[in-house]
Amino acid sequence: MKKIAEKKDFILFAVCAVICYLVFQQGDIRHTGGCSFAYLQGHILDFYEWNVEKADMYASYMPSTYILFAIWNIPVKLFGILNEPKLEVSYWLMMYYKLLPTLFYLGSSVLIYKIIKELSIEEGRAKLAMYAFLAAPIGFYSQFLFGQYDSFTVFFTLLGVYYYLREDRFRFVLFFALAIPFKYFPLLVFVPLLLLKEKNIWKIIRDMVLVAIPYAVELIFYFPSEIFRDYVLGFTPTEYVYSASLPTGSTNLSLVICAFCLICAWAYFKNVTGKVLFAQWMCFFATLSCTVIFGLAQWHPQWLLFAVPFWVLGAMLHKDTKVFWALDVLMMLFFCIYLCGIYINNADQAMFEWGILGKNMYGKEVMPYLNRELRMWDLYPLKNNNISGTIFAALMTVAAVFQYPPFAQGNLMQVIPKGMRALHIRFLAGIAVFIVPAVICYLVAALPPYLSLDISNGRPEVPMIGDTVTQVFTAAEDDIVRVEFYQGTYARINTVPLYVTISEMETGKEITSVVYDTSKFKNNAWVSVPIKEGQLKAGTQYRIDFVCPQGTILNTVCLFRTEAQVDETTYYMESGIAQNYNLCIRLYRKNRG
Amino acid sequence: MPRLWEKDERERMNRNLKKEFHLLKVLKEDAGELIRPVKPFTVAEYLVVLAVLLSMLLFCDAESLVQTAGASFGYLNRRFLDFYEYGRECGIRELSYMPLIYVIYAIWNLPLKLTFLVRYPMPEVPFYVLLWYKLLPTLFYLSSAYLVYKIACEIGMGKKKAKLCAAAAFTMPVGFFLQFSYWSVMAIPLFFVMLGLFFYLRNNRWGFVGCFAIAIGCLQYIWVLFLPLLLLKEKRLRRLCEDIVLAAIPFLLECLIYQNHPIVFQNVKLLDINANFEAGLNIGIFVIQYVIFFWILILGWSYFTHTRSKKELAGYAVLFVGFSGTVTLCLTNWKPEFFLLLVPISVLGAFLHKDIRIFMILDIGWAGLLAAYIAIKRLELGGIDMVASLYTILLLVIVGFKHPAFLAEKAEELPLICTGWLRARFLAGAALCVVWMLAVMLFAM
């Protein structure tokens, strides 16, 4: 059994990475990449205003990110592919944008290798670390699926860490200073790292001032801009750190800030000797800081890339490396469940939209159905965001707390038995957690039947007690093969039968009639009424009657209804009187529209 | 003031004598011997235990038990697949356990069926049938106490201390109160947990996993106790996965058989604790639920803990099971009878500790607060928050200070002073049971 990463392992990674690179993408990069053209047009001082004026794009990052993209986009400008800020760009230009952060991601993996080598740990472990970073499930998601640009800040942070371990103080401060304007997370690592090494108060103050210089320069430069003040300094996610707090009566103590200060104090009072032990403490404090910010505050999925190198380094410097890799898979699982519940139709199957299978090729026909028919959220069994979020936060805490150096001591020169196999399992299982349900959603959208009418997102406001309730609709096509209605069981088992009849509105001719055993219903779920192709005629108005004669308040189901009307021919009727809202129903047709 | 001076002098001399005696005791303990043989229980004490036990068997109401034991006749009537529906049809209101509990009870009720004393699930039963129903959990509880003895011997406490430990487990106020006043069926999974723990300490992997698998089949909640134990001992990921799958087999079989019977999953709640994880920290977009968060931390802690001796392994096992139980029971909707699962393990931890006496005293408080909680809840009185808070903190103290760092150097060490408190502790528990029984009878009238 081989123990180090070989060429074919990197080829496996590259194949997966290229496929995901091309197939998935979230839309934000179009905005950031597009904004950067303002610099190439010479709008340096009025960068933020020019983007609003030209393309109605409100840039919300500090200038560093846009400057980097502007440099990268020089060839695009020179070839005349794009000359000015623009949101909607071609697929291939977006892929070009995505290439820049991807290169930084690959560069970061080289830095992980160099950091491990710097600690005089054997070559095999360093290569494993490099591979472990590249194939870290959450990192892979952030870079190759979501496709954002957090790798800029990760790259410069790792450069800072590398020089920190080489005891090159100037470069350590320099690269952290460059990293901070991209995203603020490096500051959370820089301060504990500085305090761990430096006990001289004046030198600490000096380095803190030095590290803030690039940020301060950008700030001073753009502070007169109102848009900069509103959209960059007023960027709402920075407020997340105040969400978890302890009310004291007069004020709310931010738990993130309190915990971070405690970590800093611990780092200051900790004296460590020995390079490897020092690196272990460094990883411990860095992962603790990441746990505090991502565990006690809201995060966006791509941000977690920042924590990945410290999880990887910490695991490689721990005697129980493989258990941290197992934790990575578990973390990826609950990360995906959580984000698919929070960022619905954004960071889930919706990322097909900007990929090659999205608006290009065959995808043009699939897109209208993608986020409507089946979502990844529907496939994961755990529906409670509190539980999935808590498990993820707890796993992050375990991954940080048990990197505590006294737990980590062991022979780091020893090869990790079956290390590569474990890494492959981690990688493939980790990305499968996202990719398999995403592909299922895509296939469901691509294969028949197709949605013809979709009235969803309602509330449980029609309990089935006594009277008949009716939903009227008009069939748009002749090939309707399924009608669905949405119901809730009040989270209990009901035993009454529910009668559902579909008939023509005008003639009263019965099309189909079904008696449902409500004890078989799942809570808050669609229930299907089978229809044969051709039974419903295009342009004809139909009614679905629901009645539950034995229904009581303690033994019945509840239908969901919306607040708004779709059109004049589609409405809900109660006691024969038309209402200006609808029951939640769906119509499926056999052929694509 | 000569008299006063004389008194002071006398007290000073007494103190010196005590110090010397203590020094002597320490020296002798260092030499590995006990100062005096521990007094065994007297006949009078056995009689008191028996009398209290009998009175609880004869007079205490056991409605929940009647429902559970009664429902088991569904299996004896060969209603295997529609067992839960059949029970409900027969008027059984509470069908809140997994099938294995009913299967075990069905086997126990076979003589009743064969003699035609009971033919089908009955929500109300004659006195002698109730007595028969009560006998099964009593036997399981007694057997669990015997297993405490075996486990104590396995840890190296020595027979004398192990017997005392088993007696302490059987007479523990909370256990005695919950078992003989509350009359739930918790003693059944408890027995398998203790048997599993016995095999665990004997390094018998299959015995450990097998017993816990049965216990999990009876009660899903046992996962909460099983996983920390497994992670404490097994560090190989593959073995961990294997053991988890093996332990899940009876539970999965039950789910498979009854998958089309939603009534099972309506009655048998997730982890059996009403899955109410309201306690949490709101971080804006979601709430970090303390129960899940802390339980996962405990799992992490148990995995990263490496033990060097059997005593240390037992110490950590007691600690993690205690923490796991406390977190999952105290931070959710309480189900008092579940605390029974922590009783024998807590006693084992106390007897490994260098100061057994303090735990004997705290056990009295434990029982008192639990009884107060139940009474407040039933009578809808005020002050429940105060009682629940005190109870939770007390339990955390009882569990937390059993950390192996506080354990006695030698497992067989037995301070003399503990036996007196052991008696006082039982008497307090017995008094609690009797008062409870009288109060219930009084309210019933």
| Cβ–Cβ < 8 Å for B302, B316 | yes
Task: Strands of A211-254 (E only): list them.
Answer: 245-247, 252-254
Residue B415: the pLDDT is 67
Residue B296: the pLDDT is 95
Which has more pLDDT, A42 or B260? A42
**Domain contains A2:** no
Name the minimum distance, in Å, from the CA of B203 to any CA of chain A. 23
Q: Which residue of B has its CA nearest to A327?
A: B300
Task: Strands of A274-349 (E only): list them.
Answer: none
> Given A255, A322, A398, which is nearest B296 (Cβ)?
A398
Cβ neighbours, 10 Å, residue A590 = 16
Which residues in chain B are contacts of A381 at CB distance < 8 A?
none
Both A564 and A546 in one domain: the answer is: yes
Write out pLDDT tens, residues A472-498: 999 988 889 999 999 998 877 788 999
- The CA distances from residue A367 to A340, A351, A354, A445, in Å, are 18, 11, 10, 8
Residue B16: the pLDDT is 64
Average pLDDT along chain B: 84
DSSP state of B121: -
Name the minimum distance, in Å, from the CA of A494 to any CA of chain B. 10
Which of A288, A386, A520 should we substitute to test contact with B (largest number of B Cβ atoms within 10 Å)? A386
Name the minimum distance, in Å, from the CA of A522 to any CA of chain B. 9
Name the minimum distance, in Å, from the CA of A322 to any CA of chain B. 8
Both A439 and A466 in one domain: the answer is: no
Is B262 near chain A, with CB under 8 Å?
A: yes
Domain spans of chain B, in order of start: 61-125
> Given A240, A255, A391, which is nearest B296 (Cβ)?
A391
> Given B237, B283, B289, which is nearest A243 (Cβ)?
B283
Task: Strands of B167-312 (E only): list them.
Answer: 280-282, 287-289
Q: Do B286 and A326 touch (CB under 8 A)?
A: no
| Cβ–Cβ < 8 Å for A211, A263 | no
Res B270 pLDDT > 90: no
End of a domain among A402, A425, A444?
A444
Q: Do A243 and B304 touch (CB under 8 A)?
A: no
Both A387 and A488 in one domain: the answer is: no
Q: Which residue of A has its CA nearest to B277?
A: A387
Q: Which residue of A has its CA nearest to B237?
A: A323
| Cβ–Cβ < 8 Å for A258, A241 | no
Handedness of CA A266, A271, A274, A275 (dihedral sign): positive
Query: What residues does A177 pair with on adjacent strands?
Result: none
Which residues in chain B are contacts of A342 at CB distance < 8 A?
285-286
Is residue B1 very low, low, confident or very high in pLDDT (cuts 50, 70, 90)? very low
Angle in degrees, 0-180, between the axes of helices A169-179 and A201-222, rounded to the nearest 10 = 30
Both A561 and A584 in one domain: the answer is: yes
Token pair 């487990």 is at which residue?
A: B169
Please tell me the distance from the alpha carbon of residue B264 to that of residue B96, in angstroms, as a whole number.
8
Which residues in chain B are contacts of A385 at CB distance < 8 A?
285-286
Both A424 and A454 in one domain: the answer is: no
Q: Which residue of B has its CA nearest to A422?
A: B237
Percent pLDDT > 70 in chain B is: 86
Q: Do A520 and B262 touch (CB under 8 A)?
A: yes
- The tokens describing A319, both together, are 């005697």
Which residues in chain A are contacts of B324 at CB distance < 8 A?
none
Of chain A residues 113-152, which have a CB less than 8 A from chain B? none
Is residue B210 very low, low, confident or very high in pLDDT (cuts 50, 70, 90)? very high
Is B239 near chain A, with CB under 8 Å?
A: no
Is A492 near chain B, with CB under 8 Å?
A: yes
Res B349 pLDDT > 50: yes
Which has more pLDDT, B1 or B353? B353
Is A217 near chain B, with CB under 8 Å?
A: no
Both A201 and A102 in one domain: the answer is: yes
Chains A & B: contacts with CB separation below 8 Å: 86
Both A400 and A491 in one domain: the answer is: no
Q: Do A243 and B282 touch (CB under 8 A)?
A: yes
Write out pLDDT tens, residues A81-131: 999 999 999 999 999 999 999 999 999 999 999 999 998 887 888 899 999
Res B51 pLDDT > 80: yes
Q: Do A323 and B284 touch (CB under 8 A)?
A: no
pLDDT average per 10 residues of sequence, chain A (593 residues)? 74 95 94 95 93 92 95 95 92 95 97 92 87 96 95 97 95 96 94 95 95 95 92 78 79 88 94 92 96 90 95 93 94 95 91 88 77 89 88 95 90 81 94 96 90 87 88 90 91 86 91 90 88 89 92 90 82 85 91 74
H-helix or E-strand containing B75? Answer: helix B73-76
**Domain contains A259:** yes
Res B273 pLDDT > 50: no
Is A389 near chain B, with CB under 8 Å?
A: yes
Name the minimum distance, in Å, from the CA of B290 to any CA of chain A. 8
Name the minimum distance, in Å, from the CA of A244 to any CA of chain B. 4
Long-range Cβ contact pairs of B435-444 (< 8 A, separation 24 or more):
B436/B177, B436/B181, B436/B371, B437/B55, B437/B56, B437/B59, B437/B60, B437/B181, B439/B375, B440/B60, B440/B61, B440/B181, B441/B59, B444/B61
DSSP state of A230: I
Write out pLDDT tens, residues B154-195: 999 988 889 889 999 998 999 988 888 888 899 999 999 999
Q: H helices of A404-538, where? A: 405-408, 419-446
Res B318 pLDDT > 80: yes
Please tell me the distance from the alpha carbon of residue A142 to that of residue A136, in angstroms, as a whole number.
10
Is B299 near chain A, with CB under 8 Å?
A: yes
> Given B262, B281, B303, which is nearest A244 (Cβ)?
B281
Of chain B residues 168-207, which have a CB less than 8 A from chain A? none
Both A403 and A519 in one domain: the answer is: no
CB-count burial class (<10 Å; 0-12, 13-18, 19+) for A166: middle
CATH code, domain carrying A530: 2.60.120
Which residues in chain B are contacts of A333 at CB distance < 8 A?
none
Of chain A residues 255-314, which have a CB less than 8 A from chain B? 255, 295-298
> Given B237, B280, B285, which is nearest A323 (Cβ)?
B237
Residue type, A499: Y
Q: Do B266 and A519 touch (CB under 8 A)?
A: no
Q: H helices of B355-416, where? A: 356-379, 384-400
Counted domains in chain A? 2
> Given B237, B285, B292, which is nearest A387 (Cβ)?
B292
Q: Do B285 and A243 touch (CB under 8 A)?
A: yes
Q: Do A402 and B297 touch (CB under 8 A)?
A: no
Is A496 near chain B, with CB under 8 Å?
A: no
Token pair 């129960």 is at which residue?
A: B291
End of a domain among A444, A474, A495?
A444
Both A461 and A405 in one domain: the answer is: no
Q: Is the ipTM of this complex over 0.85?
A: no
Please tell me the distance from the alpha carbon of residue B77 to that of residue B86, in angstroms, as a whole number.
10
The domain of A541 spans: 450-589
Is residue B2 very low, low, confident or very high in pLDDT (cuts 50, 70, 90)? very low
Is A320 near chain B, with CB under 8 Å?
A: yes
Res B417 pLDDT > 70: no
Residue A2: the pLDDT is 57
Residue A160: the pLDDT is 97
Name the minimum distance, in Å, from the CA of A397 to any CA of chain B. 7
Is residue B302 very low, low, confident or very high in pLDDT (cuts 50, 70, 90)? very high
Chain CA centroid to CA A419, Å: 28
Strand-strand pairing, A469-474 and B287-289: unpaired
**Domain contains A1:** no
> Given B266, B289, B303, which is nearest A386 (Cβ)?
B289
Which residues in chain B are contacts of A397 at CB distance < 8 A?
293, 296-297, 300
Query: What residues does A543 pair with on adjacent strands?
Result: A472, A503
Residue type, A250: S
**Domain contains A78:** yes
Name the minimum distance, in Å, from the CA of B402 to any CA of chain A. 21
Please tell me the distance from the alpha carbon of residue A382 to that of residue A333, in angstroms, as a whole number.
11
Q: Do A390 and B287 touch (CB under 8 A)?
A: yes
Please tell me the distance from the alpha carbon of residue B17 to that of residue A335, in angstroms, as a whole number.
66
- The tokens describing B308, both together, are 């060097």
**Domain contains A126:** yes
**Domain contains A467:** yes
Which of A390, A409, A520, A522 should we substitute to test contact with B (largest number of B Cβ atoms within 10 Å)? A390
Both A437 and A458 in one domain: the answer is: no
Both A512 and A388 in one domain: the answer is: no
Both A197 and A167 in one domain: the answer is: yes
Handedness of CA B323, B326, B329, B335 (dihedral sign): positive
Q: Do A386 and B280 touch (CB under 8 A)?
A: yes
Q: Is B280 helix (H, G, I), strand (E, B) or coil?
A: strand
Which residues in chain B are contacts of A322 at CB distance < 8 A?
237
Please tell me the distance from the alpha carbon of residue B170 to that of residue B141, in angstroms, as a whole number.
8
Residue B123: the pLDDT is 81
